[in-house]
Amino acid sequence: MSRPTGRRRRTLLRGLAHVPLLLVAAAIAFPVLWAVATSVKPTAVLYDLNPFAATPTLVHYRSALDALPVVRLVLNTAVMSAAVALGQLTVATLAAYGLTQYRFRTRRLAFALLIGTALVPQQALVVPHYLLVSRLGLLDSYAGLVLPQLASSALAVFLLRQQLAVFPAELIESAKLAGASDRLILLRIVVPNLRPVLVAVGIVVFIQTWNEYLWPLLATSGTSRATVQVGLRIFETEQGTAWGPLMAAASLVAAPLVVAYALAQRRVTDAFLRSGLG
């Protein structure tokens, strides 16, 4: 009789241990669920606290699609985010390889300075970035959106350096003894073995870039190169904010990102745990 009782007690304690996690998850998910619920409410009950006050409607989604070139904005944001993620991964992989494989006197200082750039607020760099991109004639272009953000790769460098620091040195030494160049070692040995981490870091950078607002706002004009974060401003006017279409548009543009993160959630979590950040 004691064994079933003890098993039930352990099951109960294990279930109670998940209660704080469920509360935190609910607190994080609540704004998202509220935005989706608001997007399907009729205008007459938009401010009603009861999410089930009326029959759901898609009228706000139709208004959002009529007011915004959603496909164009999503495409612009996807191109910018993918280019920044790919660029930062390239820069970070080369930097991490150099910091772990080459022995030079200022290696630790260089790494400390590089990581220290993460402490500089991005808002402080906006004016120099704008002047540089303007003088290069890259305003309102994909290159102008992407280039300044390639320098914000301190987190990617740190994560990849942590992985390369514990990478089997025998593999690289064997390749060097066989006459392989650094480029060949990177492409044939390092990158294939770090593929899960590269994918995870790339997804994190992609999500961060997708949510970027300030730089796309300054670097673009009109909707030809605007991103979704900038495009949503159209619902904020002097007469007030059109909350229904705004929530509908926000739900539409966030959906691809939520799906991408859900598909790669395990790899992202695993990469952070293996790098010691989890």
Global pTM reads: 0.78
Q: Pick the closest to residue 124 from 227, 214, 208 (CA basis).
A: 214
Q: Pick the closest to residue 61 from 232, 255, 256, 244 (CA basis).
A: 244
Q: How far apart are CA 271 and CA 163, in angstroms?
A: 9
Q: How far apart are CA 78 and CA 220, in angstroms?
A: 15
Q: Where are the alpha helices (DSSP H) in 122-194?
A: 126-135, 142-146, 154-165, 169-177, 182-185, 191-193
Q: How far apart are CA 130 and CA 148, in angstroms?
A: 9
What type of residue sits at position 129?
A: H
Query: Where in the chain are the domains?
Result: 69-249
With beta carbons less than 8 A apart as the criterion, state whether 179 and 100 touch: no
With beta carbons less than 8 A apart as the criterion, state whether 150 and 87 touch: yes
- Looking at domain 69-249, its CATH superfamily turns out to be MetI-like (1.10.3720.10)
Residues pairing with 237 in the sheet: 240
pLDDT in tens, the chain (278 residues): 555 567 777 788 877 878 888 899 899 889 888 888 888 988 888 888 777 767 888 999 998 888 888 888 889 999 999 999 999 999 999 999 998 888 888 888 888 888 888 888 878 888 889 999 999 999 989 999 999 888 777 888 888 888 888 888 888 888 888 888 888 999 998 898 888 788 888 888 888 898 888 899 899 887 788 888 888 888 877 777 888 888 988 888 888 778 877 777 776 677 666 655 55
Would you state the structure tokens that stand for residue 130, as one six-digit string?
């704008």
Would you state the structure tokens that stand for residue 114, as one six-digit string?
């590089």
Q: Pick the closest to residue 250 from 229, 236, 221, 234 (CA basis).
A: 229
